[in-house]
Amino acid sequence: MRLEKVREFLASKGLDGLLVIQPENRRYLSGFTGSYGLLLITPDSAYIATDFRYYEQVERECPGFTLVKVEKDFADVLPKLLEETGVKTLGFESFYLTVEEYRKWRKAARKVKLVPCQDIVGEIRSVKTPEEIQAIRKAVALADEAFSHICQVLRPGMSEKEAAWEIESFMRTHGAEKVAFDLIVASGPNGALPHARASDKPIKAGEPIVIDIGCVVGGYCSDLTRTVVLGKPDERFSGIYSLVLKAQEKAERAIKAGMRARKADSIARKVIEKAGYGPQFGHGLGHGVGMAVHEKPRVGKLSKDTLQAGNVITVEPGIYISGWGGVRLEDIVVVQDEGVEILTRSPKGLKSAIL
């Protein structure tokens, strides 16, 4: 079914083949989990080119694909491969291919027309099957468990790095293949950086702590953010936290298939702007999640995407104040015809944020 959708694209664009190199796209179509490989998809065949490290792995993971052995560089085998398959017009992933690689391909395939293509496989990937959603559920559930665990062991004086490692260790020992990204534990002023890195800073009582975590289970990612405080928070925290929660919940009640992604963003953004914190919410409301932790659709004020049933996206408004910190709340939801299903189960009421 996945390859057939690619072939429908080839037919619609008058292409004889498509080269796929983006890692998640490659795995989605072939099942290949190695670090190096290129796919050639034609109307009636499918090839995977890789080097010696992965010959046997291809046999195990990629049924239906013909192995092309690469000894030095893919450009060396490209001319013969294109001649054997009769490809004259070849699409490629222009959003991912480097200029240097393009030059090599152009030189190796002088008689073939190279056609830059947008992320067609990413578009296909953006609508999840029930089986994919089930895999994401497992990753989300493990992130929820890891968050519950850190809430039980987090103490003043623990460093951000120690807290992040506690979370990562829990995930890896409870079924995760790996973390989905560098985990964020950002306390006090560090929380004003939306993508802060866990540091040696000791966590203090009374300051907001942004915890943004995710893991990979069965090849699919989770992404969860909660903001907590150890002990009594300052007066500012309660108001900002309640505002972010209000923005998130209003968006989650409104999002449904057919809605423009930028409209979803504006629903949450208007809540925050009305309270006077618009400049402190500088990123988009969310993004797609699947084999990659950031993928289509994009849910922001500049997005051109329209939400579809089967999209799995994050809903994560935030407010960031330099010198004080930040508050962000993030759920993963499945877009449906008449609303969303919220997969994330970690508590997010104000009382639950005060540990």
pLDDT computed for residue 229 by the predictor: 98
pLDDT computed for residue 320 by the predictor: 98
CA dist 344 and 140 (Å) reads 6
- The CATH number of the structural domain formed by 127-353 is 3.90.230.10
pLDDT computed for residue 340 by the predictor: 98
Q: What would be the CATH architecture of the domain defined by 2-124?
A: 3-Layer(aba) Sandwich (3.40)
CA dist 82 and 109 (Å) reads 8
pLDDT computed for residue 118 by the predictor: 87
The kind and range of the H/E element at 89 are strand 89-93
Q: Tens digit of pLDDT per residue, the chain (355 long)?
A: 899 999 999 999 999 999 999 999 999 999 999 999 999 999 999 999 999 999 999 999 999 999 999 999 999 999 999 999 999 999 999 999 999 999 999 999 999 999 999 899 999 999 999 999 999 999 999 999 999 999 999 999 999 999 999 999 999 999 999 999 999 999 999 999 999 999 999 999 999 999 999 999 999 999 999 999 999 999 899 999 999 999 999 999 999 999 999 999 999 999 999 999 999 999 999 999 999 999 999 999 999 999 999 999 999 999 999 999 999 999 999 999 999 999 999 999 999 999 9
Please name every residue paired with 20 in a beta bridge, in sequence order, or none if there are none.
39
- CB-based burial of residue 197 (10 Å sphere; 0-12 exposed, 13-18 middle, 19+ buried)? middle
What tokens appear for 16 in the block? 């004889």
DSSP output for 205-258: TTSEEEEEE-EEETTEE--EEEEEESS---HHHHHHHHHHHHHHHHHHHH--TT
- Asked if the bond preceding 297 is cis, omega within 30° of 0, the reply is yes
Place of tokens 């989650």: 252
Task: Give the CA distances from residue 125 to residues 27, 128, 154, 244, 353, in Å, rounded to whole numbers and listed in that order.
Answer: 11, 6, 37, 30, 34
Task: Give the CA distances from residue 186 to residues 89, 161, 217, 338, in Å, rounded to whole numbers and listed in that order.
Answer: 50, 9, 25, 36
| DSSP reduced 3-state for 351 | helix
Closest CA to 277 of 250, 242, 229: 242
What letter would DSSP give residue 293?
S
CA dist 14 and 96 (Å) reads 21
Q: Where are the domains of the chain?
A: 2-124, 127-353
pLDDT tens sequence across 27-44: 999 999 999 999 999 999
Task: Answer for the pair 128, 295: CB distance below 8 angstroms, yes or no.
Answer: no
Task: Answer for the pair 43, 10: CB distance below 8 angstroms, yes or no.
Answer: yes
Residue 114 neighbours by CB distance under 10 Å: 16
